[in-house]
Amino acid sequence: MLKHIFFAICIVSIFSCKSSPQASQADPIYYKVDTDDAADASIDSMIKPYTKQLEAEMNVVLATLEEQLVKSKPHNPLGNFMADAMYYRAMSIRRVKPVDFAVMNHGGIRVPSLEKGDITVGHIYELMPFDNQVVELVLNREQIQAVFDHMASKGGWPVSSGTSYSIKDGKATDIIIRKKPLEDREYVMVISDYLANGGDGMEFLEDIKNSPSPGMQLLRDVIIDHVKNIGMSGSIKADQTPRVIESK
């Protein structure tokens, strides 16, 4: 593990160097990695200050979770929590056109659950290790239906509070957005840039212009801020209301 951290530090150092724009074209230098104890001790000594600082940052407690949040289908309390983080952050920013809902893909959730108890920065990095940006898309009714049909075909993806849908024969029905049935109008959807650029089977979004969500940062940082803000006023109680229902 320590060797991996050392290599990560080396890689970050290389790519953060701005003085040599052609550095990526240089011939690679290879180093033999073995189990030599002396070499390991030397590396341990070199990276010790960095690992201590990293551990301190990752162990910062953001809030306390009252009950376990689980990743599951079709009802996904953990994913709903992440979608809410995007939605509420976007809603808090003054804008001409309000945000309608947020979507989180099931595969982007990288842990099976968040356990009851203290939530640390490290837990959020495990939950969302990717540097995904938060973006917005303006979609018409037909495009919204396509998004929900795709989520339904995947067995159900998480959506933000006030939004819900049913799955019947692999299609989305009874779509509710902001507590109202789907209407013939434009909607503002908050989503990760990975999905907006066609990831996880959403190629049909590639040609739709997306823009960075105002005041937003990395999705991981949005979740960290969301957890921290809740923690300042109390503990986190999960919303267990099903937002995706599989019709028989």
Q: What is the pLDDT of residues 3-50, one digit of tens each?
A: 444 344 343 333 333 333 333 334 445 455 555 555 566 666 666 666
> Rounded to an integer, what distance in angstroms lies between the CA atom of residue 153 and that of residue 162?
21
Domains in the chain: how many in total?
Answer: 2
Q: Pick from 32, 58, 84: which residue ends a domain?
A: 58
Output the pTM of the full model: 0.79
Q: What is the pLDDT of residue 5?
A: 42
Whether the predicted pLDDT of 126 surpasses 60:
yes
Q: What is the mean pLDDT of residues 142-154?
A: 98
Q: What pLDDT sits at residue 12?
A: 39
Residues 82 and 189 in one domain: yes
Q: Say if residue 70 is in the same domain as residue 132.
A: yes
One domain for residues 66 and 155: yes
Mean pLDDT, residues 89-111: 90
CATH number, domain of 122, equals 3.90.780.10
One domain, residues 51 and 168: no
My answer on whether 12 and 124 are in the same domain is no
Kindly state whether residues 104 and 216 are assigned to the same domain.
Answer: yes
Residues 155 and 218 in one domain: yes
